[in-house]
Amino acid sequence: MENLIIKHIEVLIRRHDYVIVPDLGGFVFQKQSAVIFLEQITPPLAVVSFNPLMKISDGLLAIEIARSERISFRESMQLIESQVLIVKSMLAQGKSVDFGNLGLLKMDSDKKLIFEPSGNSRFIPVNFGLSPVHYSPRTQQTDQDDRREIRILLPTRAKIAKYVAVAMVAAGIFFASPQIGENYHNYSNFNPFSKITQTEEQSEVIRTETEEVVVDDLAIQALEEEVQEVVVVPEVELKHHVIVSCMNTLKEAERYREWLKSQDYTEAHILEPIKTYRISIQSFETKEAAIAFMTELRNTKSQFSDAWVLSE
């Protein structure tokens, strides 16, 4: 396969952990557990695998090539299709196809694709700094001279009974002590005049609070009469977007959006990113309206010949 496409495949797999080559298959990162063999420990690494069932294009590879090489999306798809035909022809002849740092792809006698990962896994970001570790098994030796004798002394039954008796006497003294403060409080309540005065003050407080509650209720009723009806108009949801470009960074997407607005496309905006930042030139309530706008845009503006509709 052409080195240009292999270069973009390596860039995308480091960024998204997978790349789909249309009508060929997908390259995917898989985690490999740590391995201990003889006197060497191989750390957990990410390796490249190939899945021949991932043939449906998601447009990611074509978008990356079109953006980097400054060609249209259609030209990028044609380039990928031509290279895939070359790879299939080489595999049918029994030849191996080199995919650079990813590995080799070949076909066995049963016409099944066989992928051999490359031994160079350092180009994968998660593998940076991970290298095999060598160690020497340590022989365990027991030296009787290093043994220490530890003695634990437990109290006798007589001492335990003595401690329990002291604790019981202390608890009895604590519970038998009179509560002076509470008796004083009970005697002070024998004054009838103090009790009558307190009852009258409480009654006045209750009446005052009742009057305040009535005033609050009247104020609330007056406010409720002045409330005017508010008609809520539901917002129109624009779920069908005409996409004209996809960018890898937010800064690039914002720059392209501002350029669209300078060309009188004032409704251009950036959608929530999913792998890439997609720029919508205009959004519509129905899919039919979006398709009609896209068709007219393609026919009248050559720079938007690759526009497409995204429905949420």
DSSP assignment of 289-306, as one string? HHHHHHHHHHHH-GGGTT
CB 271 within 8 A of CB 245: no
- CATH fold group of domain 240-311: Alpha-Beta Plaits (3.30.70)
How many CA atoms, within 13 angstroms, populate the side-chain half-sphere of residue 266? 1
Q: What is the mean pLDDT of the segment spanning 59-80?
A: 92
More confident residue, 28 or 47: 28
The pLDDT tens digits for 209-251 are 444 444 455 554 554 555 444 445 567 788 899 998 888 889 8
How many CA atoms, within 13 angstroms, populate the side-chain half-sphere of residue 152? 1
Q: What are phi and psi of 62, to 5 degrees?
A: -65, -40
User: What is the H or E stretch that residue 103 is in?
Assistant: strand 103-107
- Report the pLDDT value the prediction gives residue 305, as an integer from 0 to 100: 84
CB 25 within 8 A of CB 55: yes
CATH placement of domain 3-134: 4.10.520.10
The pLDDT tens digits for 157-182 are 777 777 777 788 777 777 665 555 44
Share of the chain above pLDDT 70, in %: 68
Sign of the dihedral through C-alpha 301, 304, 308, 310? negative
The pLDDT tens digits for 99-155 are 888 889 999 888 889 998 877 666 665 555 566 677 766 655 555 555 666 767 776
Q: Which of 93, 72, 119, 101 minimizes the C-alpha distance to 3?
A: 101
- Report the pLDDT value the prediction gives residue 215, as an integer from 0 to 100: 44
| Pair type for strands 240-247 and 40-42 | unpaired
The pLDDT tens digits for 265-285 are 999 999 988 878 889 999 999
pTM of the model: 0.41
CB 271 within 8 A of CB 303: no
Average pLDDT, the chain: 76
Q: What is the dihedral of CA 31, 36, 37, 38, to 10 degrees?
A: 160
- Report the pLDDT value the prediction gives residue 198, as an integer from 0 to 100: 47
Q: Delimit the domains of the chain by residue range.
A: 3-134, 240-311
Packed helices 3-16 and 73-92: angle between N→C axes, nearest 10 degrees: 110
